[in-house]
Amino acid sequence: MLVAEELEADWQKVRIEQAVPGPAYGDMSTGGSASIRSLWKPMRKAGAQAREMLVGAAARLWKVEPASCHARMARSCTDRAAAGAPTAR
């Protein structure tokens, strides 16, 4: 959910799926729910980095400056000031 929030994901399309315990995932203990306390910042950072990568890719595709683009509700958008640039995809 933290990553989805940073990605500006459409909450209507976010689905949570619990991982099935098994040796492929290693130790899955929650440790008193310390996972959110200890991983909040790294997960937010990973989501923000992914968002910036997607915005950068959209800017390259649309041939505009990345600063004129932003993410909103699972869409990449450009500022209306960018001449000839699409407003949403």
pLDDT tens-place values along the chain, 89 residues long: 888 888 888 888 888 887 777 788 777 766 666 777 888 899 999 999 999 998 899 889 989 998 888 887 756 566 643 445 444 44
Number of domains in the chain: 1
The pLDDT score that the predictor gives to residue 69 is 86
> Is residue 89 domain-resident?
yes
> Is residue 77 domain-resident?
yes
Does pTM top 0.75 for this prediction?
Answer: no
Question: Residue 9: what residue type?
Answer: A
> Is residue 88 domain-resident?
yes
In angstroms, the Cα distances linking 52 to 20, 30, 32, 76, 79 are 31, 30, 33, 10, 16
Domain that holds residue 71: 33-89
**Tokens 């800017």, residue located:** 59
> Is residue 65 domain-resident?
yes
The pLDDT score that the predictor gives to residue 88 is 46
The pLDDT score that the predictor gives to residue 76 is 56
